[in-house]
Each structure stands twice: as structure tokens, then as C-alpha cells.
Amino acid sequence: MYTSSTKRRVSTLLAAFFFLFSVTTVSAFEGDASNGKKLFKSNCASCHKLDKKLVGPALTGVTDKYSEEWLLSWIRNNAELRASGDADAIAIFEEYNGSVMSAFPALSDQDIFDILQYTIEGDKKPVPTGGDIAGTSVVVEGKNYDSEITIGLGILLFLMVMLLARMKNTLRLVQGKDPVSILDEAGWFWGRLINNKGFVTVSTVVITVAFLSQLYGWMMGIGVEQNYQPEQPIAFSHALHAGENQIDCNYCHSSARHSKHSGIPSANVCMNCHMYVDGSEITDDAGNLKYDGEGSPEIAKIYAAIGWDSENREYIEGYEQQPIKWVRIHNLPDLAYFNHSQHVNAGQLECQECHGPVETMEEVYQYSELTMGWCINCHRETEVQFNKNEYYQDFHEELTEKYHGEKITAEKIGGLECGKCHY
């Protein structure tokens, strides 16, 4: 029989053994989680997440389930590991319906250790900097807008009180007096001006011209929607997609190449990427997860519209899809004809020529005037692109001979004919 002191010694030794084992297990990889995060984003994030399944399994806890040697073999060349008859490798392959994981022979042992260390530590949550995350209170550049509104209302109220007081004094002055006496009390200078026909005539002409000028400017602005920026149902960032991720405009607006209209992409086009990218990997400027692994609420709106179950990664059977009600920004009048494919293909124009630097816009707005004068100036200044352009191949030499080396603009090939733009 063991004595109580012997039991205590054994218990202490066992506790020390398990403590050392756990420390050794955690630190065995000796990885750099910050470097592992970068490697994970560039090599693994398209198929794996830390906290849930994507194309492959969630990677949190993978170091507890498999040995260091097995993980090195699996990541470097999983096909070779399966071919060796390894039961775990074959089980994973069958569980994910034969999805083949890429091999990473170029990753060093230390690179893999860094990635595994990142799966252990995960993403550090951003430290709140003040304000309500839910959005009930907002601080913009440190300004207190409540106090500014209060001060503004106070000034407006003071001016109204002063105006009313002035009106009261004027009414008291006028009451019971004839116009002549009022002019006399107005003073000699103002009285002479009011009775001066030349001054009155000139003043009338100036006021009339100013009024007509303003009226003309207002009428010429009817239908001009430059800088129009409506609020959209989903906060889609062109700066992120077209700018940072460098997605070609024609990928989403594919009909611009072969149709009159550029078209609004359907939710199915969005799902080509967002079937795998749910926004949980989006980070802030400090490198912390912006949505704390929860996924972007804007991407969730796409899922809700199309009926996508992000947890099980499948479309919901029998779901009644809802169209996304985008608000149109660029809208020419019905009497004007514009063909996107002609300008994109024959004219070889970049989208930015008309729509501005869309790749820098968080929220898209109408950049150009899109008026008749604006279009005419463009046709007068834009040179026809003959080089490697099959559209103009047949009459390139004819136009070159006709204009004797002059700059051939759209105007010179009928770009100002009324029937080209109007029905």
C-alpha cells in the first residue's frame, strides 16, 4: 500500500509532467503568429477559416488533433500522404467529397509552424476606442455635433427675436403717417435716391438682369444630375473591389462589351466570390478583424436576398429570392441614344472617361455632367483609335488620305450628326 506522502509525491510528479507536456506542446512549433497570419491569408484563406468550415475544415484546434510530423506531411503534400495509406488523410479526403487540397512544397518548416501558431493564437480583437459599437452614438473627428446644433439654433433664435423687434419698431413708426412724412424721416440721402428716376431705372434693370440670369442658370440645370449620390440598399465599395482588389469593371458589368447598357450585376455574380468570402476576414487599418469573425453585415444582405446558408455553405431549398433594389445613378433621357459596346469596343474608352475614378469611390456618384454639350466636346476632342482596331480597319487608309495626317476625331467620322444620338 502507498502511504499518503507517497501519493502526494506521485501526484506532484504527474502534475509537473502534464504541465511540462502541455507547455512543450504549445511551444513546440515556436512559430511567429504575425507572420503566420500573412502566410495564412495568402495561402490558406481561400479554402479555410479558423472558426468554421469553408471549402476545407476549420483550423482552430488542428494542432491538438494531429501531430507535428503529420501536419508537416499533410500541408506539404497531402496527395503523397494519402497514397501512403494514412487513415487520417484518407478520412479527411472522403469527408470533403474528394476535394483536393493544394500542395505547398515551397513552404519551409518554419513557415508551416508560423501558420500553425496563428491557428492557435487566432486574431487579436480590436481594442474599443470609445463610442458605441452598435452605432447609437457617433463621434466624427472628435467634434461634438450636439453642442454645435444647440449653438446654431440659439443664434437663429436670437436673429429671429431681433428681426421681430425691428419689425415692431418699423410698424410703430409708420402707424398714422402719410408716405411723404415717412420719406422725410428716412433721411435726405435715401429720399433723393428713391425719387431719382435714373437710379430707379438702373436698379430695376440690374435686378431684372440678375433675376433672368439666375432663372436661366436654374433652367439649364434641369435634368443635370452631376454629383448625384443616392443611398444604396447595400454599401458596396468600388474602392475595395475595383481599387484594392483590382477587379475589372467588365467582370461585374459584363454587358458593357456587347450591349447598349452596362447592366447591373445579379446577385449570382456577387456569389462567385462571396460564396467563399463572407467578410469575416476583413481587417481594419490596424490589421485587426473588422467584423470579429462574424462576417460583413453588407454581405449578409446578399445572402438574405439570394437564400444562401453561410453555415452549411449551400443554397436554401425552396427559398423565395428577393431582388436587390439598387438605385440607378446614371440615367440619360429617353430622347438620347448611347451605346456602351460601341464606346468600349470601337472607341476603346476606359470606363473612367465617363464615370470618373470609380476605383477610388466608396460610394459611387455621377462624376460627369453627361449633358449634350459635354458629349459634343468629347467627340470633338477624342481621337479615333485606329491601331489594332478591326472596327475601323476597312476605311483607315481612306480617312488618313482624306485628312492628310490631321488628327482624326470622332467629329470627323460623323460624331456630331443629330441622328447618331437622337432617335
**CATH code, domain carrying 54:** 1.10.760.10
Are residues 100 and 40 part of one domain?
yes
Cβ atoms of 422 and 376 closer than 8 Å: no
Residue 157, exposed/middle/buried by CB under 10 A (0-12, 13-18, 19+)?
exposed
pTM above 0.95, yes or no: no
Please state, in angstroms and rounded to a whole number, the distance separating the CA atoms of residues 86 and 80. 10
Q: How many domains does the chain have?
A: 3
Q: Is 138 part of any domain?
A: no
* Beta bridge mates, 46: none
Cβ atoms of 123 and 41 closer than 8 Å: no
Task: Tell me the chain's radius of gyration from C-alpha atoms.
Answer: 36
Domain span at 159? 148-176
Are residues 109 and 99 part of one domain?
yes
Q: Which of 54, 96, 93 lies closest to 311 in space, CA to CA? A: 54
In the listed set 176, 196, 214, which residue is the last one of a domain according to the structure?
176
Cβ atoms of 48 and 55 closer than 8 Å: yes
Are residues 93 and 111 part of one domain?
yes
Are residues 212 and 193 part of one domain?
yes
Q: Is 113 part of any domain?
A: yes
Are residues 92 and 152 part of one domain?
no
| pLDDT tens for each residue of the chain, 423 residues long | 445 554 454 454 444 444 444 444 444 556 788 888 878 877 787 678 777 777 778 788 888 888 888 888 888 888 888 888 888 888 888 887 777 788 888 888 888 888 888 888 876 544 433 333 233 222 323 333 344 445 655 565 565 555 555 555 555 555 555 555 555 555 555 556 666 777 778 888 888 888 888 888 778 877 888 899 999 999 999 999 999 899 999 999 999 998 999 988 999 999 999 988 888 766 666 666 666 556 788 999 999 999 999 888 889 999 999 999 999 999 888 899 999 999 998 888 999 999 999 999 999 999 999 999 999 999 999 988 887 787 777 777 778 778 877 888 999 888 899 988 997
Are residues 73 and 113 part of one domain?
yes
Q: Is 380 part of any domain?
A: no
> What DSSP line would sit under 113-182, residue for residue?
HHHHHHHHH-PPPPPP-SS-TTSSS--BTTB-HHHHHHHHHHHHHHHHHHHHHHHHHHHHHHTT--HHHH
Q: Is 164 part of any domain?
A: yes
Q: Is 251 part of any domain?
A: no
* Distance set, CA 77 to CA 39, 80, 219 (Å): 17, 6, 71
Q: Is 66 part of any domain?
A: yes
Are residues 217 and 152 part of one domain?
no
| SS percent in the chain: helix, strand, coil, step 5 | 50, 5, 45
Please state, in angstroms and rounded to a whole number, the distance separating the CA atoms of residues 130 and 118. 28
In the listed set 166, 196, 222, which residue is the last one of a domain according to the structure?
222
Q: Is 227 part of any domain?
A: no
Cβ atoms of 127 and 292 closer than 8 Å: no
Helix, strand or coil, per DSSP, at residue 309: strand
Are residues 115 and 39 part of one domain?
yes
Count of H-run helices and E-run strands, the chain? 20, 2
Are residues 187 and 170 part of one domain?
no
Q: Is 290 part of any domain?
A: no
Are residues 189 and 155 part of one domain?
no
Q: Which of 271, 368, 373, 359 lies closest to 329 in space, CA to CA? A: 368
Cβ atoms of 74 and 81 closer than 8 Å: yes
Are residues 168 and 207 part of one domain?
no
Are residues 95 and 37 part of one domain?
yes
Residues whose CB falls within 8 Å of the CB of residue 312, separated by 6 or more in sequence, listed in order: none
Residue 87, exposed/middle/buried by CB under 10 A (0-12, 13-18, 19+)?
exposed
Please state, in angstroms and rounded to a whole number, the distance separating the CA atoms of residues 245 and 119. 25
